[in-house]
C-alpha cells in the first residue's frame, strides 16, 4: 500500500515497475558514467510485490560516485537479528551476504563489499551509538540501517525513537554516507499492535522528510503472505526470518539500492 506523498514519490521514481527491469531502463542514460547493471536481475517469483510496497527509493550519490570513480563500494549493514541472520541456515543465507552477491552480479566489473554488523536484540539508540565506531572502522559509502522492530516490542517512545533516527541520519549525511532505512518486518502477531504501527509511521515520516531511501519491509512481506499463502518466510518462532525471508529481503533492498544509485531523477516541481 502507498503512503501519501511518499508513495507518490516512489511511483515517480520506478514508474510503477513491479520488478527491477524498468528501473534499469530508466538508468540507461547513465550507462557511460556510473557502471550501471547491464541486465536487470528479476525478482524471484516468491519475492514479487508491487513496487510501492517494496521501497520508497532516494538518491544514493556517494555510493554511485564510489562505483563510478573507484569501481568499488563499501556498504555497512547494521541492525538487529534480521541483519545478523537469526534463523538463516548459514552465514551465506543472511541478507547482507545475499545482497552482496546480487549487487555484484547485476553490476559487472565492480566490487561491492557488504559488512554485516547486526547484533540481535538491539534497539535503535544502542545501534546509533555503535554506528560511529563501525563507520570509523569500515569507512562505508552507504549504510543500511535495519531498525524499529525491537523498539516497538520494548515500547520505546515514538518521539525518542524519532530523535535517535533523525540525529543519526544527519550525522551520516555530514560524513558523506548515504543512508537506506530498512523498516519493520511483518508478522500476523503484530497486525493489531498500535505501538508497532506508531514506530512504522515514524520511520516513514523520517525517511520522507530527511530524503533517505526507505525499504517497506512490512508492506512487501504482508503482500507476499497474503498472496502466496503456500510460502513460508518465517522461522518456526514466527518472528525471525528463514532463508527465503532473507532472500526476499536482499532482493528488495537491492532494488532500492540500484534504483537510488542509477535511476535518472525527475524534477519534483517544488
- Is the alpha carbon torsion for 84, 10, 155, 128 positive or negative? positive
| Pairing, β 55-56 against β 178-182 | unpaired
DSSP class of 265: P
Cα separation, 62 vs 44, whole angstroms = 28
| In the chain, % of residues over pLDDT 70 | 83
- The pTM for the full model equals 0.83
- The DSSP H or E segment spanning 75 is strand 72-79
Q: How many CB atoms lie within 10 A of CB 86?
A: 17
Cα separation, 117 vs 47, whole angstroms = 24
Q: Residue 117 forms beta bridges with which residues?
A: 78
pLDDT tens, 17-42? 334 433 433 333 333 344 455 445 78
Cα separation, 265 vs 174, whole angstroms = 22
Contacts of 265 by beta carbon, 8 Å cutoff, 6+ apart = 13, 59
Does the pLDDT of residue 269 top 60, yes or no? no
3-state secondary structure of 40: coil
pLDDT tens, 173-201? 999 999 999 999 998 888 889 999 999 99
Cα separation, 147 vs 16, whole angstroms = 26
Does the pLDDT of residue 145 top 90, yes or no? yes
Amino acid at each position: 500500500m502507498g503512503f501519501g506523498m511518499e508513495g507518490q514519490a516512489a511511483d515517480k521514481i520506478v514508474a510503477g515497475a513491479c520488478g527491477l527491469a524498468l528501473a534499469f531502463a530508466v538508468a540507461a542514460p547513465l550507462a557511460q558514467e556510473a557502471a550501471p547493471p547491464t541486465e536487470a536481475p528479476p525478482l524471484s517469483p516468491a519475492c514479487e510485490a508491487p513496487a510501492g510496497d517494496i521501497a520508497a527509493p532516494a538518491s544514493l550519490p556517494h555510493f554511485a560516485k564510489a562505483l563510478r570513480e573507484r569501481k568499488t563500494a563499501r556498504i555497512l549493514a547494521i541492525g538487529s537479528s534480521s541483519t545478523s541472520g537469526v534463523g538463516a541456515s548459514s552465514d551465506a543465507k543472511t541478507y547482507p551476504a545475499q545482497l552482496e552477491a546480487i549487487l555484484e552480479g547485476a553490476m559487472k566489473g565492480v566490487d561491492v563489499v557488504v559488512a554485516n554488523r547486526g547484533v540481535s536484540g538491539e534497539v535503535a539508540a544502542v545501534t546509533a551509538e555503535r554506528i560511529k565506531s563501525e563507520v570509523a572502522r569500515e569507512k562505508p559509502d552507504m549504510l543500511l540501517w535495519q531498525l524499529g522492530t525491537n523498539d516497538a516490542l520494548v515500547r520505546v517512545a515514538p518521539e525518542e525513537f524519532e530523535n535517535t533516527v533523525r540525529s543519526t541520519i544527519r550525522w551520516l549525511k555530514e560524513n558523506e554516507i548515504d543512508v537506506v532505512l530498512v523498516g519493520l518486518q511483518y508478522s500476523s502477531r503484530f497486525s493489531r499492535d498500535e505501538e508497532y504501527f506508531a514506530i512504522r509511521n515514524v520511520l516513514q515520516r523520517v525517511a520522507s522528510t530527511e530524503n533517505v531511501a526507505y525499504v517497506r519491509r512490512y508492506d512487501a512481506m504482508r503482500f507476499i503472505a497474503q498472496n502466496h499463502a503456500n510460502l513460508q518466510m518465517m522461522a518456526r518462532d514466527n518472528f525471525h526470518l528463514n532463508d527465503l525471508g532473507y532472500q526476499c529481503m536482499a532482493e528488495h533492498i537491492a532494488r532500492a539500492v540500484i534504483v537510488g544509485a542509477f535511476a535518472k531523477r525527475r524534477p519534483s516541481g517544488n
